[in-house]
Structure 1
């Protein structure tokens, strides 16, 4: 399938029903990721572990652990604690040995790396053992400086290179120019069963209101869920909120939800911005949330105003799955996931709005436009978003497409090794 710019090297993997029943013995897949803390790559690792097990395989993960470790174990996955997050050259070299021994001991059939530092070690281990090597490019594709481009190039050295959006794939092709036959687009999937407004009990929403001190006073709630980071646009959203207030629009609240992850200086900047008493009545920094489905359900509109292009933009898809209109930056992977009036021929067919990145006034105008929609129009936008998420961005679609890549590579690898073994036996005879 061609990407959004018409380049033909991008091949979209479709959702398929995959079983490893025809592969005997059952395959063992090793995923390598720095940690299992909250994040898109980490969540995808857990989703893939479940899918591997459901397809009849073994799911092994090497990481330094984290919040999602218990979830992996509960799903039937296996974990090996390893400092694969380290960029220290000595530790990376040692990790080659550790991953090689791990793959030999656990009879691993395929290694899948999801980050650059561990990918270098995983690539060397896979080459030593003659195993298929898969990468997923979750992050930004940098074009400079040269040293960084080389460091990132490990993510394009797999037998299959998975990009999480057509935008990412196009940038990979432009910067790294891998063999087009190895490059696939598999959009990140979200759990559309968990992220379903109908599945959220009122008590969960009430608990969040109490925790965050949010009165049910009729004001619309804008939700910005993202780690507290400069490029995620929290300060931009606060400025947009201030612009709305200065123009006389007061019927809203803005909730900033997410982890600081050690960015204390930036958190202080955000807190200082909302220090004004008038603004503080409308804007709140509420911290980490363990029940994001309830947080989305509590909201009326979801914002993802990243000031730089998102490689994919999971928030926009999660919000649509929860039947919430979205306002996103008009850049990167979010251009692909949100159906805007410009794409659909009018707001009556849209799932959200896209605005110029890093433009507070444009964001404020979009927020005002969604507030001015009738309740029926906002509900319609949300329902179309739900349909969009179910059709294109479910976990099932993502895992099915990735399992298809695994199955093909494993079958080819086993056939090759079998042929080499029999060939050697004939020569010996």
Structure 2
């Protein structure tokens, strides 16, 4: 089949990486993979792995996006996909206005993925437009059914995000060259247990709580070094400066390294003793959790949202009541003292995700064909 995934851009983030992962698997299985976005740093990888990228401005939250709907309609008719998979609200609105009002069977099958716990509004309701709707976790599925009653539960399929175990293999060991370069760049991290905090620099991601955790561990004479992997949004550099100042205030500036954007996450997970997920709002999934678990590194996270779903099935000892800093420090120190055996359940692998997603695509295509024959 020909599958077109549509999303705002391809710079970084869980949605973007998941799009590229699925595209790679579609190509490997002999399907025609198309991705439409405004472009970004992951575009080169996407194309190198066999997909076709169509650059189109499907990212702007402005009236100009409405003016581009006729051009998008022509573009979609020319591409003639069997399935259009929309992954964000602006692209979903544009695709729906372009072809969604055509009867099923006279347009591509539409599949939408709820990647987040979107604000409840008419604007967000468009994510229920698909002939089939994918929820990336049980908490997202419950959020849809609880807040968007117009979305028939029979159209919703929960498909956990899956990690590519070829990119994040169990027991992965970084090369000596990588280790030499990394510890030359960050000498303060050498010969210490490493705590890794991956994710975009944003207050809700919990970096301030991570710094508090490091201070508590130091106060308990537990040696470790913190790594913050991720960059902030343009124009929001003040938050990074706040983090640096807070670390200095707590006397742990030398126990913390800011790594910025990284493309070597498998290596970072592998050298870390513990990975932390401390988001202040319930995350719909939490890709870094399953990536770390796939490599074999224990994860500590608040007991809510998508990350909790992953850990309940793989490492429940890593779950901590949200905001309980004492329990958080105890869980991390426990893992440092006695590293647990870690393995990722098969249901959280890319293989399982792709199989389930292809099944949804086929259901949507079949439903459209049945509707057309019924007419």
Task: Map 1:97-108; keep pairs closer than 5 Å.
Answer: 97-108=70-81
Aligned to 2:253: 280
Greater CA radius of gyration, 1 or 2? 1
Quote the Cα distance in structure 1 between the aligned partners of 2:214 and 2:310. Answer: 25
Deviations 1:129-165 (A, max 9, x none): 533211111122334xxxxx21111111211110100
| Alignment counterpart, residue 330 of structure 2, candidates 365, 368, 372 | 365
1:243 pairs, out of 199, 208, 216, with: 216
Give per-residue Cα distances to partners, 1:109-138, cap 9 Å, x unaligned.
221110011110111223245332111111
SS of the residue 1:333 aligns to: helix
Which among 347, 351, 372 is matched to residue 392 of structure 1? 347
Q: Per the alignment, in what secondary structure is the counterpart of residue 5 of structure 2?
A: strand
Give the distance between the partners of 2:302 and 2:33, measured in 1 at CA. Answer: 36
- Superposed CA RMSD: 2.0
> Is 2:244 aligned against 1:271?
yes
Whole-angstrom distance in 1 between the partners of 2:189 and 2:225: 10
Aligned partners of 1:128, 1:96: CA distance in 2, in Å? 13
Count of residue correspondences? 368
Q: 1:199 to 1:216 in 2, by over 3 A?
A: closer
Is the CA contact 1:235–1:270 (under 8 Å) kept in the aligned structure 2?
Answer: yes
Aligned residue for 2:26?
Answer: 52
Partner of 2:68 in structure 1?
A: 95
Match of 1:221 in 2: 194
Q: 1:136 aligns with which of 91, 99, 113?
A: 113
Shifted more, 121-130 versus 227-236: the winner is 121-130
Q: State the distance in 1 between where 2:21 and 2:68 align.
A: 25
TM-score with structure 1 length normalisation?
A: 0.81
Matches within 5 A, 1:15-414: 27-89=1-63, 91-129=64-102, 130-143=107-120, 149-177=121-149, 178-196=151-169, 197-198=171-172, 200-217=174-191, 219-246=192-219, 248-262=220-234, 263-276=236-249, 278-339=251-312, 350=315, 352-373=317-338, 378=339, 380-382=340-342, 386-388=343-345, 391-414=346-369
Does the 8 Å contact 1:187/1:393 carry over to 2?
A: yes
Alpha-carbon distance, 1:249 to partner: 2.1
CA deviation profile, 1:33-54 (whole Å, cap 9, x unmatched): 0001111111111122122223
Q: Retained in 2: the 8 A contact 1:255–1:286?
A: yes
Classify the secondary structure of the residue corresponding to 2:165: coil
Worse overlay, 258-267 or 325-334: 258-267
Which structure 2 segments of 5+ residues have no match?
A: none
Distance 1:277 1:205 in 2: 29
Query: Matches of 1:212 and 1:98 in 2, distance apart?
Result: 49
Check whether the contact 1:208–1:295 (CA below 8 A) recurs between aligned residues.
no
**What's the CA shift for 1:358?**
3.1
Structure 1 gaps, min length 5:
1-26, 144-148, 344-348, 421-429
Rounded to whole Å, the distance in 1 between the matches of 2:364 and 2:194 is: 47
CA contact 1:61–1:77 (8 Å) conserved in 2: yes
The one-character-per-residue Cα deviations of 1:6-47 (angstroms, maximum 9, x if unpaired) are: xxxxxxxxxxxxxxxxxxxxx222111000111111111112
CA distance in 1 between counterparts of 2:351 and 2:184 reads 34
Over 3 Å counting, the alpha-carbon distance change for 1:413 and 1:56 in structure 2 is farther
3-state SS of 1:161 partner: strand
Q: CA deviation at 1:64?
A: 0.6
Greater Cα shift, 277-286 or 42-51: 277-286
The residue matched to 1:295 in structure 2 has which SS?
helix
Contact persistence 2:173–2:267 (CA under 8 A): no
